[in-house]
Each structure stands twice: as C-alpha cells, then as structure tokens.
Chain A
C-alpha cells in the first residue's frame, strides 16, 4: 500500500510541475466558443442555442463540416486564468471591457482580418451593423500604434450602471446623485454591489462629485446653447467629447490619495447602507427591504420586469455626476481559428439574430440598424410621432445607420422605466465613462482597500493581545498535559491520596 501511495504521490507531483505547459492547437473545422453563462439566445424546447444554429447554417451555406464546441464561464478571472494556464484552448471568448483591455495589453488576442473590418463586404455583418457609437467608443483607445480596440474586439452587449429605486418610498430627485447611498434619510434602505470594481467606481464618483458636477453643468450649458442655435452640431459634439474625456480621467483615478478618500467614503457608506449584495438586490427591492439598489442596466430591466409582475413599480436612473459604461465583447485568443471565429461574430451580428439575443438575454446589443430599431419600437410600444404627454428621446447617437430619411427620435410616456434602462438617451451616455483595467500594482492596492472596507480592522495592539492570549493558552495546555503524563503512576499502581 505504501508503495502504491508513493507512486501516486510521484505522479501527482510530476503532473503539478508540468501543469503550466499544457497547450492546445486550433483545428481547422472546429470552433471553440467560451461565453458567459446564459448569454446567448437558446430554444427553450430543444435547448439549441445560436452557436448550434451557426454550425448548421455554416455547414449548409459553405457545404463544410465544422463543429462548434460551446462552453461557459462565470467570471472574467476564471476565463483569463484558463487561457493563461492552457493557451490556445479557445477560439473565441467574451470577456468584459477591462478584461479585454488587459488581454490586448498583454498581447493575448488576435487581430481581426481586413475583410472582417470592411463594412462594404457582403458578409461582414458586424462591421456593417454595429452602432457607430460603439465603434467611436472603441476607436478612442489607441493600441499598438494606429490601431484601436476595434481591431481586436467586437462588442456584444453593453449598458450603463445606475440606481434602481422605488419612487413610492424615495424621492426621485435625490436619486439624481450617487450621494443617495450616503444620505442618512435613506439609512438602511440601499445596497451596494459586493464587487470591488463596481463599488469602487461609485466611491470615485462620490468623492469627486464637485468636480464632476461642475463639468456636468458646463455640458448642460452647451446643450442649452445647442438647443437655442447658439452653437452648431460640430461645436456641440466637440463639447460633448471634451466633457466625456474629462470625466473619464476623473473616474479612472487610482492614485494613493484617491484610494484613501474612496476607502473613507465607502466606509461611511457601509454604515448607512442595508448591505452588499450580488443578486439578492432585485428580490429585496420587490419585498420592500430596500428602496435603492446599485445595478447594471441589463439587471435593472430584469428587476423592473420582475417587480411589475409583483405589482411594484421600479425606476432606473443614471445619476448626474456621471457613471460607468460597460460592455462585453468577443475577442480571439492567440492561436485561434480566426476564420470561423469571425464568421460566428458576423452570424450573431445579423440584426435578426441580435434581436433574438436581446429578447432572450434582456441586455442591449451593440448591433443597431433598422431591424433592431423596429423591434425596440414594437417591444416598448413607442411612438414615432409626437403626442400628448409623450417625451421625445433622441437615439440618433446609437441608431446611426437607419434607412435614409428615418428618424431615430422616439416618443414615450415611460421615461425612467425598462426602455430608458435598455436604451439610454444621448445625455446619459455622454456622462458615462469606461473604467480601464488596473495594472497589477494598482489592482493590489485597490483590493487591499476593498478588504479594509468589507472587513473590520481591530487596532494592532488588540490583535497582538488576542493572538498572544491564544498562543499562551495553547502552550499552557500542552505543558500541563505533558506534566500530567509524567506524573502518571505506573500500571498496576494507584495514587491513593494527594499531599
């Protein structure tokens, strides 16, 4: 048995030593997709999803014989680690913004082909239908000299971050500021996310609210000037870009002073909030435990839908200080089968497939175009003409390529509800910034800050006293025990009395 065990141990050790060298190679007729859980349209009855459909479609269209292997992950970090440990194990993955940026910076992803990027190409559905808004957003981030995110990543779903709130119990105007969570009027009524990046962002926006509000006021001024014809569209767009660039800088600060300020702010918030949650927030809103819930727009739509079924009317808002714009996108890890990967991205970027996805997932697709616009108008029962009690929402920034002559202005009486969460208006996206990834050393500091916020910090002397007491206790126990053992009488003898 001992031999057997030592053999096992040897094998185990040698396996361990070779772990970091596993590598997989792409195969010509296999596409390995790695996506978030529940993040693709699937047929409820057959369980077939768009990836399976793609396999059939591709084989029929090109008379080929490809296989799609589809698997899912739960967090960006799991996906990233898997690619680090076993490079080349996937052809197409769908991480979030900051992870895409990290992977591009670490030279882990393949570039898209010129054919894929060429919108005039018949089958380049992604380049043809992706909203110019997303394209411009990606274009802002220059990498590898003259290239941008557009060369490496294809956006899938996107959205904003804001508060879901119950207007029956809190004042809607108070929700226009991130400060609601710190407001003692709403003591014990709000939740933050139990996730460092999201909650850190809110801390930033709160700490620098004065600066952000000044910039926002400037922007509002420009909006007024534009509406009154004082400045033209080009001037206004320049103003908007300038505003967005300025808040992007503020909302990406990670210097030590900022971290200390955010830590203090979040510690204060911790005293005022109901709690930190990952997904209990939606239900707690419905049952009335809380009235304010920090949420992603996609989740907000879902929460409002659920609440509607329970007779509770919830609203979503992106506070005035500015917020986070997030997206998940497709990237091809190094060594991927780029041909099939690009074909798949194009397949799910056909507007009708994008609609299917949106219907199923509930998030906002990066794909624009007439089909998506029509589906939105139909789904939210929007009007394309002015009417009494209706508010105009200009989605021209997103639906940039509607058929000639169509207007992207819609009219609705449900501002602040599901529609607003799924398709924010222009002013809202203008005050939303992308949160970049943290380099390793900054990441370490942010995590320590988060640990301090989430945990309790005893004074150092208390820790020393407690650990000392435990150590002494353990030592005394063993000393007493060993002494006892020494004094034990020999077998067959008895201690009759003491002393």
Chain B
C-alpha cells in the first residue's frame, strides 16, 4: 500500500545507439518522459513530422486492411476470447519484422486497392443493369436506335407517353401519308414506336409527333438493341468475374491476418517512439533523455542499459514543487481496486494511498449487499476458473476485474452463510415440493427478513466503523504531513464528539428499545459522554474556522463546521442501503423460488421448475451484483473518501507499448 516514490532520470547516450535504447525503454515501459531541457546551440530537437505522418498513414492502411479482411472472411473467435489476452512477442521477432515491413505496406495497399476495385465493379454492374432495363422495351427492334432514315425516307424511333394504339397514332398523323408506324412495345407508362415517312414530310411529322409528346430514347447506339443488351451482359459477366477474382485474392490474404495485426502494432509502436524522439535533445553525436521513473525500477533499468550500451545515467530526487506523476502499488488483495481509486482521483501531494483500507471495506460491503451464499459461490467459482484457466494469457485489467469479483464473491458467500441465504430459500422450496419434507439450512447469525431492525442497526454500526476509519486515515495523513494542529482540531475533536454521541444514544432507554438492543449503558456513562461531547463541540466551534483572522467570523465558521454533524447523521443513515439491497436480493430470490414452486403440480413440473429457477436467478444475480457494485463504490467515494481524501494526482503515463494485438514486453523486476 503505497504511492511509489518517483525519481528523476537523465540518460545521456550516443546517437548511434539511439534506436536500440529507445526500443528497450519502450518495451520496459517504466519511464515517463518530460523534456524540461531547453534547446541551445549544440543540442537541438529533430523534426519528425514526415515520419510520424507516414506511420499514421500506415496504421490507417493496416486497420482498413484488417477491416476488409473481416468483411470477406470472418475471423473465428470463441465466446471466451475476451479472456485470452494478447500474445507476447520476443524482441527478436520485432527486429526481424523490419525486413518484411515494406512488403506489408505493399500488401495492405493491395488489399485496399482490391476492395476499391470491388466497389467500383459493383457500381459498374449497377449502371449496366439500368441500361439493360432501359433497352429491354426495344429488344424486338432489329435496327439501331440511332437509325435516322434512308436517302428517301426519314425514321423516328422514340417513345410516346402513356398507352397508344396503332389507330390512334395513325389518326395523329392522318394528313401526312405515306407514313408507316410500328409499335415496338407498349406499357402503361410509355409506348415505343418506329415511324417511317418520306423525306419531304419529315418536319411536319416531327411537329405532329412532338405535339403528341414524342421523345427520343435516353440511350443510343449504332447496334440494334438486342445486340447492345448482349454486349452489356457480356460486359457484366466480365466485371462480375473480376469482382470474384478480387474477392478470392482478398480471401487469400486472410491467412496472413496475423501479419497485418503485427504490422499495425509495429507501426503504432514506432509512432509512439517517434513522438518521444521529437522531444529528445540531440547534438551531432549524443542525445539526452529526461523523465520520471519509479525508484524501485531505477536500479534494474540502469543495470540493463549499462550492460548493453555506453551511456551515462543520473538519478535524482524530484524537488518539492515538482508535478511528479503518481503510480500506486498494492499487494494482490488490494491491487484490483487501484482502478476504482484511479477513477475517483489519484492521491495528490502528501496524501496516502487509500487502496488497502478501502479494499477491505469494499469487499465486506459488496458481500453484505449481495449476501447470498449461492450467488457468491457462482461468482467465486467463475472468476477462479477464469483466473486459473487463463493464468498466463489474461490482460492485467481483466485479471484485476476477475480478482476483484473473486474476493467480492468470497465475501458474499460469508455473509450468505451468516444470513442463511442459499439462492434465497431454494433449499426449503425444493425439499418441500419434491421430497415432501421441509429442510432448512439455518442462518449462522440471523435472518434479516425476519429482523429488519437488527439488520438496520448492524448496517449503521458498520457505517460508523467505516466513517471512523475514514477519520483515522485523516489522522494518519495529518501526522504524516506533520499537521499536529489539524490532528487535534479536525480529527480528534470530531472523533470524540461522534463517539460520545453514540455512547449517549446507547444509554437512552427510548433508543435502546427502538432498536431492540439487549444492553443499555448506565447513566453515568451518559453523563461523562455528555461532558465530552460538549467540550469537543466547543473545541470544534473554536478551532474549525481558524483560517479566518476576524474572531467573529472565526466563531461563525466554527459554528458552521459544527453544523457538519448533520452530515455525519446522513452519512450513517446512508448505510441503510446495506439492509435494503440485502433484502432486495433475498426477497427476489424467494419470489423466483415461489413462482417455480407453483409449477410443481403440472406435468414436466421439474423441468419447468429448473428453467424458472435458472433463468430467474441468473437475472437476479446480474441485477443485484450491479447494484452491489454501484453502491459499494458510492459508499467509498462519498462517505469514506469524503472524510479524508481529496486526490488530484497526475497519473504516471510511461513511454511504453500501447498496442492492440500483441505484447512486446521486456520483463522488469516488478513489471
């Protein structure tokens, strides 16, 4: 349980080793770089814009190639693939990839071009299909659509809107004999016609036809329509074949999917490396690198670097005012909750790492809210199985999540046994419905549904412990910061006030009767507690406004701080959610079990019973685990952290490998 101590690191090395040093640092992933040094006459920064641009382009290419491969040949993934982390790749393989790099750029481009070809081909086919559609009414015409007539005759090939009969067209052209009209095809929308007349009547026929709404077809060609359709169809077949070929070719690349992934990762790593490179100060033959490193990694890294390269490393402690990044380290029990602390805020300057204490309460509170031995067992078994089965493959984040739910599950089993809940009252129901004899597993402690008041008191008592622990953390923090005034004024006074208030409550007959306690404190305790409470209240009033100089203002501020006692009241009441959520789990369990038991009489009752029980409890476990998770987090963030923790630290963000498909890691001592 600690915030790792950071050191400033400064490496000065030869430029010829630059690539290898950077790659080693990247794989170690223990240094956060910050370029504090200024450029001068000798040391300059390099411009890496062109290179970075190239990497970004290649990453985009690789990604689109992978997406295209996914479209034409789906990658088979098992349901549990999320548990299968990234594969680890040795440094050697990374170095060897360099030779194949250009080929992969080419291959990615090729896949991209093939996809483009397919898209274009598809557009082409669509166009040709429309043309065929336009031509199809003309298919019986055996001369080209462009035919304008012979030496003595003029021809009109085109369409009239609507449905026309031969007589009607002849009627339209009655005065213009000799004329020949053929109807090629007719439909409700249009009538395709071929009109032949003598040359001298051409313009009058044209006028008459136009009056009737005649227009030339939207498509023209020097071949007959039937021939044109045949040509188009041939063309379509060719295009379709080339599409098919392109698809096949893409599918061939599917076997090399892993290489594309590797390529994308390779370029992602180089991009990050060049981002760092742009911040390096370089002279003609050396470069300087500065940053932060956790102290415990410092020695190992120095050893590793000195072993392989000629260079100079310096470590020094950061100054007081420096904005040092924060990294938390915890043992296996608490480590899963680092993420939860991080998502609130990392500890600021001089703050302690709350993870260890928080994790303990977190597991307890979660278990209390879910509080069913059966559910806990399912969680524990599921997470435990995944942790063992995928021991070496799990990603860190997934492993932490699983571990967290494993511990939550264990705590749930514990509370479930205490409160006698095994899938609710499933044991009772099954034994009564199917075996005719009711068997009950008795609660080790008590049944909350029968004694809600007792459970409520227990919840609030646990809340008091949680809150007092929070104040204890504040005490420790003040001690560490050597703020001894704060220890007395902000913590001890409050502690005394709260504890004496609780003691006074416990000696009041009304209170003890309401909550059914079996004991009552003697009135002498109450009298002493009353005096202590008064003194501490006076102390709080006198001191909690101490940052104001004006005595009147200071008194008012102190009074206002004392008013904060209502905050403690609401904090304690807030823990009643332990009772509410615990009961919610139990009652829904019994609703499900009761519903299932109703089916016992019907034929195939046992099967229906099982289906209802399995589906119902699966739903219940999901809903209530979610509730327990949310509210356990809330109790930590609002009630617990509110007492001592402010946060505001900046996360340690090391120069490392942030790839999607493969792991490239140099094993560090603690890595």
Task: Verify that A and B bind, or say they do not.
Answer: no
Interface residues of A (CB under 8 A from B): none
